[in-house]
Amino acid sequence: MIQNAVDAIRAVAGARPSVGLILGSGLGGLADVLEDASFVEYASIPGFPVSTAPGHAGRFVLGRLAGHGVVCMQGRFHFYEGHPMSHIAAPVRVMKALGVETLLVTNACGGVNLDFQVGDLMVIDDHINFMGANPLTGPNDAGFGPRFCDMTYAYTPALRRLADEVAAAQGVALRHGVYLGYMGPSYETPAEIRAFRVLGADAVGMSTVPEVIVASHCGLPVLAISLVTNMAAGVLEKKLDENEVIETAATRAKVLERLVTGIVERL
């Protein structure tokens, strides 16, 4: 499956990308502004999974951004869609096989930290895996990485510092915190959110963790940025709604896109 994707991408885009981008719910607009863009639909790749989540286009987009060759995953895969963890891992390994040297990940998340507000951007410093599964389970492919991979610096400190520098130059306020990965698709209960806060989580979401684990296994430096599209269950006296996630992402997407572009320019 991975080789099929690599072959399909190389057939339409000969240039080797150095940066990989995984774009979260409602945040896929960055792929639409790439120069000299080429597109590969997931559905056109034999054996490759297809994204079904709202706000996910479901394709690879290749082109140039801020002078760098990039490959964007415009629409990711989630455990709650029924994909096995091996499928969620595949796109990161495809990017690694294409020659990507740095991975930037974005997501929409719920705010657990009571000091956070809807619309905040948070650099992920670390994560807690509450998905009940790990994408490295099963036989290990030593061609990608070791059987037991270290996660101490999964979120690359130098890239986090770079994000702070670019954000300061752009006048963008950046939070930092711990992201807790939750399987979904139901939102968390208020009691779970209280428990997650005790555990040290600042934000919660249904993605990113598997991709970062696989990137760490591959030896890829990672920067991940979350957009707080809603406060988590029980923080505010209202029900959670997926439409709120998409709407908030749309209002803040340009700020995040400008930040990511500035970071890519500095790589």
Query: Does residue 50 carry a pLDDT above 70?
Result: yes
Rounded Cα gap, residues 207 and 182, in angstroms = 8
Summarize pLDDT for 75-113 with one digit per residue, the tens: 888 999 899 998 888 999 999 999 999 999 999 999 999
Annotated binding-site members for a purine D-ribonucleoside:
188, 230
Annotated binding-site members:
25, 56, 76-78, 108, 188, 207, 230
One CATH from 3.40.630.30, 3.40.50.1580, 1.10.3720.10, 3.40.50.2300 for 2-266: 3.40.50.1580
Predicted pLDDT at 55? 57
Annotated binding-site members for phosphate:
25, 56, 76-78, 108, 207
Summarize pLDDT for 141-179 with one digit per residue, the tens: 899 999 999 999 999 999 999 999 999 999 999 999 999
Predicted pLDDT at 54? 62
Among 155, 124, 104, residue whose Cα is nearest residue 257: 104
Rounded Cα gap, residues 172 and 111, in angstroms = 18
| β-strand partners of 22 | 73, 105
Tell me the one-letter amino acid at 122.
M
Peptide bond into 185 cis (omega under 30): yes
DSSP string of 13-38, one letter each residue: --SPPSEEEEE-TT-GGGGGG-EEEE
Q: How confident is the model at residue 231 (pLDDT cuts 50, 70, 90)?
A: confident
Query: Does residue 210 carry a pLDDT above 80?
Result: yes
Predicted pLDDT at 86? 86
Dihedral (Cα; 73, 78, 81, 83), 10-degree rounding: 90
Summarize pLDDT for 21-34 with one digit per residue, the tens: 998 876 778 888 88
pTM of the model: 0.93
Boundaries of every domain in the chain: 2-266
DSSP class of 5: H
